[in-house]
């Protein structure tokens, strides 16, 4: 069988199936290209899905955030430094107050009188001699010196002690100012301060024994202070207030009123005071019998 040349087949018609497939493919491609170009509102640009990240949002405000962090750090540093300083001062004040309390407990040992032999110093093997003071006034001055180094709460808490040391040192005006500042306080602190005001007035009366008018004036002031010491008949230290009142009334020569105050004190007195009040009543009875 003879083979025909390829170019000689060009006159044959195209296979109908192949022609149809080719036409359909070309039509689909043409339709897609036309649709891409002709569809209205179509945007071929890339779209970012998911929104901004945290870093994207924080980055524009990074300077402000750093300023806030630095500011908070500075404030906290100042605060904790201040707290440390206050704590250090409190420790120092507490130590000084403790030292003042130690001085209050020292014994009083008056120096030997003229002609008396002095006590020999301790030997090298003997224990050291405890610190003593020649008088209550000298001891009070030492305590006041220690209290001068106390600041803050321990100083205010030791206000009664400081006032008492001023009294022992003979500084009555300073002691009176301290006690008057405490007299309005509630509780035992105010009671003790009002009682001390009576003692101060009584001390002034003793110092004015050569001036009858001045002595009477100071005793009247002491009487008013002791009556104000504890006005509550059921309150703390009421028996002591009545006892002091009776003493001053007796010193003013008002024996009947003094007896009334002592009798009222007997009904309220604890054992540590009862014997003293009864002795006072016995003295008044002896004076009345003369």
How do residues 190-207 score in pLDDT, each as one tens digit? 999 999 999 999 999 999
Fold of 199-290: 1.25.40
Kind plus residue range of the DSSP H or E element containing 116: none
Kind plus residue range of the DSSP H or E element containing 132: strand 132-133
Can you give the residue ranges of every domain in the chain? 85-109+131-182, 199-290
Question: Do 279 and 257 form a contact (C-beta atoms < 8 A)?
Answer: no
With b for 16 or more beta-carbon neighbours within 10 A and e for fewer, the 163-202 pattern comes to bbbbbbbebbebbbebbeebbeeeeeebbbbbbbbbbbbb
**pLDDT of 265 strictly over 50:** yes
Confidence of residue 18 (pLDDT cuts 50, 70, 90): very low
Of 15-24, 43-52, 243-252, 264-273, the range with the lowest mean pLDDT is 15-24
Give me the pLDDT at residue 251, please.
Answer: 94
Give me the pLDDT at residue 51, please.
Answer: 54
Percentage of the chain lying above the pLDDT 90 cut? 37
Query: Which range has the top average pLDDT, 9-13, 76-80, 93-97, 194-198?
Result: 194-198
Strand partners, 132: 107
Query: Which range has the top average pLDDT, 29-38, 120-129, 176-185?
Result: 176-185
Question: Do 136 and 164 form a contact (C-beta atoms < 8 A)?
Answer: no
User: Token pair of 279, please?
Assistant: 């002795």
Owner of token pair 């707290």: 83
Strand partners, 59: none
Q: How many CB atoms lie within 10 A of CB 129?
A: 10
């Amino acid at each position: 069988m003879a083979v025909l040349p390829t170019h000689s087949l060009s006159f044959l018609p195209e296979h109908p199936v192949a022609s149809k497939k080719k036409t359909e493919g070309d039509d689909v491609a043409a339709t897609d290209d036309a649709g891409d170009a002709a569809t209205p509102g179509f945007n071929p640009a890339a779209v970012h899905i998911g929104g901004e990240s945290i870093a994207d949002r924080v980055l524009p405000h990074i300077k402000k955030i750093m300023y806030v962090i630095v500011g908070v750090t500075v404030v906290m540093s100042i605060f904790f430094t201040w707290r440390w300083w206050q704590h250090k001062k409190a420790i120092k004040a507490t130590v000084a107050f403790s030292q003042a309390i130690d001085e209050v407990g020292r014994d009083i040992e008056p120096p030997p009188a003229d002609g008396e032999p002095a006590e020999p110093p301790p030997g090298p093997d003997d224990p050291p001699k405890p610190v003593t003071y020649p008088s209550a006034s000298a001891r009070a001055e030492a305590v006041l010196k220690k209290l001068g180094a106390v600041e803050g709460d321990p100083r205010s808490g030791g206000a009664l002690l400081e006032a008492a040391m001023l009294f022992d040192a003979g500084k009555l005006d300073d002691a009176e100012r301290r006690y008057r500042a405490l007299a309005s306080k509630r509780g035992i602190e105010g009671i003790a301060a009002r009682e001390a005001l009576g003692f101060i007035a009584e001390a002034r009366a003793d110092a004015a024994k050569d001036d009858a008018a001045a002595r009477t004036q100071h005793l009247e002031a002491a009487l008013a202070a002791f009556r104000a010491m504890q006005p509550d008949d059921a309150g703390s230290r009421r028996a002591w207030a009545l006892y002091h009142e009776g003493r001053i009334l007796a010193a003013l020569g008002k024996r009947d009123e003094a007896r009334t105050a002592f009798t009222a004190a007997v009904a309220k007195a604890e054992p540590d005071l009862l014997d003293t009040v009864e002795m006072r009543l016995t003295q008044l009875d002896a004076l009345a019998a003369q």
